[in-house]
Amino acid sequence: MRSLRFLAFALLATTAAWSLPKLPIVFQDELASQNPSDVIGDPDFFDIDNLTLVGLNSNTLQVDIRFNFGGGAALTPFSIGSSFPTLSVGDLFFRTPTNTYAVILNGHDGLVTNGLYQISSTQAARDVLGNPAGSYRPDAQVWAAPGGAQLLSTGSASISTVNNVSTFLRATLFIQLNNAIISDLDNGFALYFAAATCGNDEIFGDVPPTTGVPEPGTWAMLGAGLIATGLLRRSR
């Protein structure tokens, strides 16, 4: 009887899995197709090629980002000139209809590296850099604001160089999600990433919500769970 009870609850629990469009989902830098010169400044320091939602495994979402960053694979803050503020890597944002989440690639303002936060607000490039004179995107939302930020989990990341070029990077992020976050993301979300805190290149993407109609496999698992629950009640 104990094994039957476990089967019933296990089968019902599987119906709460990720139900958005099948992964991987690749987002290309849309601005590049609209304007070949979309990167402000040196593209070796700022250009974003693509962002990929690779897959979800045991509540760990893998995200790959192919981008250029002047500080190299260590994501070290770097300077583009003595008259312009030091630049850091941007945060990765997921925005659902009700919440905004931020993944911190490199810790700042007390927010920890590889932390997943639910946040109340973001910081624009002008806020982070002190509104300097120069060529950058002042309205780009580049960092999470620490006020009201709630740490949900701490994941990990692997960052390597591409083609042996020190500033050409592939960042692989492993983001720990709980069932509540997955359910929230299933409502659809927008994602955003700026290569650096100047916003000199940005990438956007939208993942649609579920249709509300389970796939055949989900119906099968739900039916099996209900049958197992019914057998459990009859056995009592």
Q: How confident is the model at residue 38 (pLDDT cuts 50, 70, 90)?
A: confident
Based on the fold, state whether residues 236 and 147 are members of the same structural domain: no
Give mean pLDDT, residues 129-148. Answer: 96
> pLDDT tens digits, residue range 109-125?
999 999 999 999 999 99
Based on the fold, state whether residues 33 and 142 are members of the same structural domain: yes
Based on the fold, state whether residues 109 and 160 are members of the same structural domain: yes
Based on the fold, state whether residues 102 and 162 are members of the same structural domain: yes
Nearest-5° Cα angle at 79, 74 to 81: 160
Domain count, the chain: 2
pLDDT at position 34, please? 46
Whether the per-residue pLDDT at 190 is higher than 80: the answer is yes
Q: pTM (2 decimals)?
A: 0.82
Based on the fold, state whether residues 197 and 229 are members of the same structural domain: no
Based on the fold, state whether residues 100 and 134 are members of the same structural domain: yes
Q: The domain containing residue 60 runs over which residues?
A: 22-213
Based on the fold, state whether residues 9 and 53 are members of the same structural domain: no
pLDDT at position 1, please? 47
